Structure 1
């Protein structure tokens, strides 16, 4: 059994699931998920149960096999390759210990690197479909997306704006990024319509002044998971510095898609995120 510790929003959960699924597949073992983080995080919710994932939620006894005080003390005395609790050492950088991992580990981290799960790409894209039909409003937008040349555009605000610590870390993409991105897509795909997704759609309507056709999708009636699926169904994708829209772009099945992503992912330009963005994506 592999237990993956889940934390963060939907984008983070998908990265954590993807690594866990790759490990369970390689080791022919069961994948279970520690969702205890969401019991004490009122602003976040466990959302993977909206998809056809091949995992179940771990029970308390299974988790305590690794996290009881005695178990954690014993684990500290093992060398890094023998420990049963595997913690990510450096964000975005592939951790070579994963290659040697055996069954029976508790895995903690964000694991935001495609190399961890590229080998099971087809499996993930099959499993990460919704268990339930789209809501009426989401279904209406899905039909429109199918009938036009479409590009999703994601604006991430939320705690990037309201939480000063997070804002200093992530920063906010300037309007100039979206201006250049929409110009590039419009040049490649004349007549394209842009479908805008945001956690602050009112701000976007007021402040995102772009001389292109815009459809504002986000609505309280459309769940996060539905928004992710709608974004992935567009021909092309303009992502924010957000794992949520990263996954919408990655799940996009269009073989001719153009994905535009911000070259600078964090406010701190010294952070190396070169392994976060797939090579084929356009960075600006």
Structure 2
């Protein structure tokens, strides 16, 4: 999703024609309505692609970018620039509209979770663990945030919205049940951990009014599609992750970093 949004914004900025890799197109169209960027297999073109990463490409001036684009540019790596696509937020949101079944399932689940509560403010909580532990340690000499961070973030929303109901989704629901302590039954563990169908959890989190996330693209997009206030973990390492840096650069209103520890 980050690659798609960045490609869309790059093409708009530079007046170029964007083309998706077919695997990206195939993945996105499982969960979202038809995207506006075509896949390469639908086009009859035989360009010789110039491969470069996003940082190198952005250092070129407009004339250089236009000249090299004549032969086609392949942006390699995992190009994501929140500051670049956030200025087109309204249009980007139209690119990521969940298919009907995911929207209906999310709304039905929130209705079920509401029960007899009045004036509920849903706060989605995404807890990324498992595979991310080794990534943080190896790449940034950092560790996963724990109970202290999530309690701090939840208490913030409890104070601001006394009728908050925290809707938790995670790849480690056992950890969540052991460490995210409810007050007056205000925490529900609704995530399904179905990695084969991640759109179910993302659509559920995006349907909430506000969001608490730890790190990672799944949490970012769950919060970004949802709108509202967002709390995310900061100061988890001496060097910010690429995504953290990109989010800070975008200066998104109603997003704030809380200390991770």
Q: TM-score range by the shorter chain?
A: 0.7 to 0.9
Aligned counterpart in structure 2 of residue 260 of structure 1, from 231, 247, 261: 231
TM-score of the superposed pair, with normalisation by structure 2: 0.76
Q: Secondary structure at the match of 1:246?
A: helix
- 1:137 Cα offset (Å): 4.7
Q: Which residue of 2 aligns with 1:87?
A: 53
Say yes or no: does 1:97 pair with 2:60: yes
Say yes or no: does 1:153 pair with 2:125: yes
Separation in 1, partners of 2:240, 2:213 = 19
Q: Which residue of 2 aligns with 1:79?
A: none
Aligned counterpart in structure 2 of residue 243 of structure 1, from 217, 221, 230: 217
Structure 1, unmatched stretches of 5+, are 1-13, 39-44, 68-83
Moved more, 129-138 or 173-182: 129-138
Separation in 2, partners of 1:154, 1:220 = 11
TM-score of the superposed pair, with normalisation by structure 1: 0.70
Q: Which residue of 2 aligns with 1:193?
A: 165
Moved more, 53-62 or 113-122: 53-62
Separation in 2, partners of 1:97, 1:62 = 28
Q: Deviations over 1:96-149 (max 9, x none)?
A: 438663343111233333221123211111121113422775342143578721
Say yes or no: does 1:213 pair with 2:186: yes
| 1:201–1:218 Cα contact (<8 Å) kept | yes
Q: Deviations over 1:224-279 (max 9, x none)?
A: 123222212211110111111111222224xxx221111125xx323364442343
Report matched runs for 1:1-284 at 5 Å. Answer: 14-27=1-14, 29-35=16-22, 47-49=27-29, 50-52=31-33, 53-59=35-41, 65-66=47-48, 84-89=50-55, 95-97=58-60, 101-102=65-66, 103=69, 104-134=72-102, 137-144=105-112, 148-161=120-133, 164=134, 166-169=136-139, 171-211=143-183, 213-219=186-192, 223-253=197-227, 257-265=228-236, 268-271=237-240, 273-277=244-248, 278-279=250-251, 280=253, 281-284=255-258
> How many residues matched?
238
Q: Greater helix percent: which structure?
A: 2
Separation in 1, partners of 2:45, 2:61 = 20
The alpha-carbon distance between structure 1 residues 108 and 98, as it changes in their structure 2 partners (threshold 3 A), is farther
Q: What is the RMSD computed on CA atoms of the aligned residues?
A: 3.3
